[in-house]
Copies of this chain bind each other. A is one copy, B any other.
Amino acid sequence: MNPQTDNVFYATNAFTGEALPLAFPVHTEVEVNQAATAAAKVARDFRRLNNSKRASLLRTIASELEARSDDIIARAHLETALPEVRLTGEIARTANQLRLFADVVNSGSYHQAILDTPNPTRAPLPKPDIRRQQIALGPVAVFGASNFPLAFSAAGGDTASALAAGCPVIVKGHTAHPGTSQIVAECIEQALKQEQLPQAIFTLLQGNQRALGQALVSHPEIKAVGFTGSVGGGRALFNLAHERPEPIPFYGELGAINPTFIFPSAMRAKADLADQFVASMTMGCGQFCTKPGVVFALNTPETQAFIETAQSLIRQQSPSTLLTPGIRDSYQSQVVSRGSDDGIDVTFSQAESPCVASALFVTSSENWRKHPAWEEEIFGPQSLIVVCENVADMLSLSEMLAGSLTATIHATEEDYPQVSQLIPRLEEIAGRLVFNGWPTGVEVGYAMVHGGPYPASTHSASTSVGAEAIHRWLRPVAYQALPESLLPDSLKAENPLEIARAVDGKAAHS
């Protein structure tokens, strides 16, 4: 039945579980070495390529993706079971993301140019001329995510920001959508050709063996890693990256329960809160990394009504087809196991295998405290409501939470005094605070932070979405007393790139 061999593998139809046409090579250490060596050879020229040419490459990739959107959507739909309208939106998002990074490169702000003017007469020692800019790290490995086959995969945010920084990229394609990755890789290859740039700037490696990713993270020419996935797999690769003779940064987004706090004033004021909540938790079949996985609310009649409405909405949910059989099996067993724990109530929708039911758990703060395992993310259409005794109880629970991508607050003005006590704690555990909204939907802008304390991110000072994501692939270099003709353009006195710079600690522009 299954045509899998050691040399090739096949994608799985997410609806039927059957193999899809097209064999993909199982790449090994040999191909990793070829790709990394080739990437290292072109890395210096690519990082020194002028900004407008790198921006042009990103825009051309965006156009190529749009040109092949029909092919991409058709294949991605079969591989992921995501609806066509969602995939259409995701292509637009991915193309816009590439164009945002083109703007970032063109602005030159990523150089973070800082100039300290010399003072030869300073006592006791003269002050030297020191100028600093950021440069690309070198070849980068990117691991595609299963849940966003475009925006967080072969040409997703990690690839776009790394190419923008000037780093060649080697993508380890996700086994859940190899055909989608291949078409996307063809778009990037075509763009490189059109821009007359070497193909070694981008390589897609495919395979269904763990050794491939391990070889990639361990290769001496790889200088940083971008990863979106599970805590288990991500932590193993994180460990590898740090055990290398030369450790490298590993930017991993591993998991989040995205706590939501609903204050009594919001429960009273907002009639459609339960609808909004269920829509957010079931969006993309609950396979968003920003899914609200736990809701804290007070024990009031309005909260009881909120729970009942949410339960009734859950019962009416259509069955979900999850991304892969593995994700489905994992979801099923975790939901069944949690449902059989003490002190937890669960409501399911109707579903027949291979589809899965949505699930809503309800418990008390007392029981939540007894079950630290409930804080573990379950990937799929489920969430948990924790009924707290009072605001102090809710605040005290917040102090026990681990890192998350987001933390959400619902409240109206009368609760602001209590909310202002909660915010400082939420800053400490989340990359993004959301007010009177829902965490699903991650805006790709300048101010976005998609990260947060571990396990949300292995590198809480970084973001994997938004303009600042480019800084993951850069490091600073200072130039002391270099003559004008030898300085990089970003630091020359006349500021030929016309970029924002800081001079002697003050912002300056050209």
Min CB gap A84→B, angstroms: 15
A492 CB within 8 Å of chain B: no
Q: Does A485 contact B (CB under 8 A)?
A: yes
Whether A446 lies near B114 (C-beta < 8 A) is yes
Which of A142-150, A277-285, A457-465 is the interface stretch? A457-465
Which residues, 205 to 263 on A, are CB-close (under 8 Å) to B? 238-239, 242-243, 246-247, 249
Is there an interface contact between B433 and A461, defined as CB atoms closer than 8 Å? no
The answer to whether A449 and B431 touch (CB under 8 A), given A48-B424, A437-B481, is no
- CB nearest neighbor in B for A455: B246
**With an 8 A cutoff between CB atoms, is A174 at the interface?**
no
Map CB proximity to B onto A421-456 as digits: 1 under 8 Å, 0 otherwise: 001110110111111110001010111110101100
Check if A502 sits within 8 Å of B138, measured CB to CB. no
Closest chain B residue to A463, Cβ basis: B476
* A89 to B432 alpha-carbon distance, docked (Å): 45
A268 at the B interface (CB under 8 A): no
Contact A447 B115, CB 8 Å, known A431-B477, A477-B427:
yes
Is B433 within 8 A of A449, CB to CB?
no
Q: Does A326 contact B (CB under 8 A)?
A: no
**Which B residues lie within 8 Å of A478 (CB)?**
431-433, 447-449
Which of B430, B443, B505 contacts A477, CB < 8 Å? B430
Question: Is B436 a contact of A481 with CB atoms below 8 Å?
Answer: yes
Taking a contact as CB atoms under 8 Å apart, the answer to whether A480 and B246 are in contact is: no
In whole Å, how far is A391's beta carbon from the nearest beta carbon of chain B? 16
Contact of A247 among B130, B135, B238, B446 (CB under 8 A): B238
With contacts A428-B44, A432-B477, A433-B477 known, is A447 near B509, CB below 8 A? Answer: no
Pick from A20-28, A151-159, A375-383, A466-474 the stretch touching chain B: A466-474
Q: Supply 6 A–B pairs (Cβ within 8 Å), ascending by A.
A: A109-B502, A239-B242, A242-B242, A432-B480, A449-B478, A461-B471
Contact (A130, B445) CB under 8 Å given A103-B505, A420-B486, A507-B509: yes
A3 at the B interface (CB under 8 A): no
> Knowing A48-B424, A478-B448, A505-B467 touch, does A128 contact B433 (C-beta < 8 A)?
no
Apart from the given pairs A115-B447, A249-B459, A432-B477, 20 other A-B contacts in the complex at a CB distance below 8 Å = A44-B425, A104-B505, A116-B445, A125-B441, A130-B443, A130-B445, A131-B447, A132-B447, A239-B242, A242-B242, A246-B403, A416-B486, A420-B486, A432-B478, A433-B477, A435-B482, A436-B481, A449-B477, A449-B478, A463-B476
Given that A247-B238, A507-B509 are known contacts, is A461 also in contact with B481, CB under 8 Å in the complex?
no
What's the Cα separation between A228 and B441 when bound, in Å? 42
Name A's interface SS: mixed
Identify the 3 closest CB pairs spanning chains A and B, nearest first.
A449-B478, A132-B447, A432-B478
Q: Which residue of B lies closest to A245 (CB)?
A: B454
Which A22-48 residues have C-beta < 8 A from chain B?
44, 48
Flag whether A348 is at the interface (Cβ < 8 A): no
Residue of B nearest to A107 (CB): B505
Closest B residue to A485 by beta carbon equals B416
Copies in the complex: 2
Tell me the complex Cα distance, A498–B174, Å. Answer: 46
Inter-subunit contact B137/A460 (CB<8 Å)? yes
Closest partner residue, chain B, to A244 (CB atom): B454
Most buried by B among A124, A127, A458, A505: A505
A-side interface residues toward B, CB under 8 Å?
44, 48, 89, 103-104, 107, 109, 114-116, 124-125, 127-128, 130-132, 135, 137-138, 238-239, 242-243, 246-247, 249, 402-403, 413, 416, 419-420, 423-425, 427-428, 430-437, 441, 443, 445-449, 451, 453-454, 458-461, 463, 467-468, 471, 474-483, 485-486, 500, 502, 504-505, 507, 509
Chain B residues contacting A249 (CB-CB under 8 Å) are 459, 461
Chain B residues, Cβ within 8 Å of A449: 132, 476-478
How far does the Cβ of A223 sit from chain B's closest Cβ, in whole Å? 8
Residues of chain B with a CB closer than 8 A to A500's CB: 507
Instruction: Point out which of A428, A435, A476, A485 has the most chain B C-beta atoms below 10 A from its C-beta.
Output: A476
Closest B residue by C-beta to A436: B481
Across-interface contacts of A477 in B (CB, < 8 A): 427, 430-433, 449
- Cα distance A124–B502 when bound, in Å? 38
Evaluate contact between B480 and A427: CB separation under 8 angstroms.
no
CB neighbours of A448 from chain B (8 A): 116, 130, 132, 478
Are A135's CB and B461's CB within 8 A? Answer: no
CA distance A115 to B420 in the complex (A): 21
